[in-house]
Amino acid sequence: MASIDQQPVGRPDGGLSFIPVAWLVIVMGLSAYGLIANWRLIGDFSLPENAFFLVYGGLTGGVITILWGLYLLGLAFNRSARFPRHYTIWQVAIIVWLVVRQAYVFYSFAFSAEALGFTVAEIAIGLLCIYLLRNGAGADTIYANPETERPPVFVSILAALLGIILGGAIGACAGFFAGSLIADLTHMSCFEGACGFFAAFVGLGGLIVGAIAGGIFAVWRVNRRGPARAR
């Protein structure tokens, strides 16, 4: 009788709770491939407006996906009890991004059955991963390490680095976009690349502000103490 009661604790779901981690690695790999493939388009002012938003949105989304994924991998490798909840938030954000991107492609470009099929497959796998990590599915027996009151110094340093990189990337993209928009609205002269230099200057300012804000926020976030919750 005791062995029957303890069997689900030893091997919950036959190891299915590790599928979300594998899918996380695959999504990060796809994002890295997209960054490598589209990186050369940065600074290409000949892009049409609809392609500009798609390319820069994809680059920003790829950076966020990779950095956020690294944080989730840290939780997964440590078997942290926070992993299922944080992974679910990440996966929902990915699904929303996929829907928004596909809707934009439908509106601005031609219909592609192949692209739609890939998007539907990614959403379906993401929903499956959320289902595998739901409460009561057995994931809590794998990811069961309790939260500590304050993380180690290494975690704070790593979070600061990730926050600086992520904040800098978001700030640079936002600043470059704002600079390009201002140059376009004010009909700034592009003689000898003046409008491009202006957009790059604003982007540099956004990078600095975003990096500082991202580092401060990341350190605050990982060291924030909350009331202990009964489990």
pLDDT tens-digit map of 150-183: 566 567 667 778 887 888 888 888 888 888 888 8
Going 77 to 82 to 84 to 87, the CA torsion angle's sign is negative
Confidence (pLDDT) at 205: 83
**Contact between residue 177 and residue 207 where contact means Cβ atoms under 8 Å apart:** no
Helix axes 194-223, 153-185, angle to 10 degrees: 150
Q: Residue 59's closest CA among 33, 85, 79, 91?
A: 33
What is the spatial distance between Cα 131 and Cα 203, in angstroms, rounded to a whole number?
40
Q: Which amino acid is at 127?
A: L
224 band by pLDDT with thresholds 50, 70 and 90: low
Lowest mean pLDDT among 17-26, 47-56, 129-138, 164-173: 47-56
Quick one: average pLDDT of 192-214? 80
For 135, other C-beta atoms within 10 Å of its C-beta total 8
Lowest mean pLDDT among 40-54, 129-143, 191-205: 40-54
Residues 22-42 as b/e (b if ≥16 CB within 10 A, e otherwise) read ebbeebbeebeebbeeeeeee
Between 95 and 4, whose confidence is greater?
Answer: 95
* pTM exceeds 0.85: no
**At residue 54, does pLDDT exceed 50?**
yes
Q: How far is CA 9 from CA 16, 22, 86, 136, 144, in A?
A: 13, 22, 22, 12, 11
**At residue 25, does pLDDT exceed 80?**
yes
3-state secondary structure of 145: strand
Q: How far is CA 34 from CA 14, 45, 55, 110, 143, in A?
A: 33, 20, 10, 20, 31
Confidence (pLDDT) at 67: 78
CA quadruple 124, 129, 133, 138: dihedral, nearest 10: 110
- Tracing tokens 């500590």 back to the chain, one arrives at 148
DSSP character for 151? -
**At residue 101, does pLDDT exceed 70?**
yes
Share of the chain above pLDDT 90, in %: 12
Confidence (pLDDT) at 99: 92
Tell me how many degrees the CA angle 140-66-18 measures, rounded to the nearest 5. Answer: 25
Quick one: average pLDDT of 190-195? 72
Half-sphere exposure of residue 126, counting CA atoms within 13 Å on the CB side? 20
Quick: pLDDT tens for 55-78.
888 888 888 887 788 778 777 877
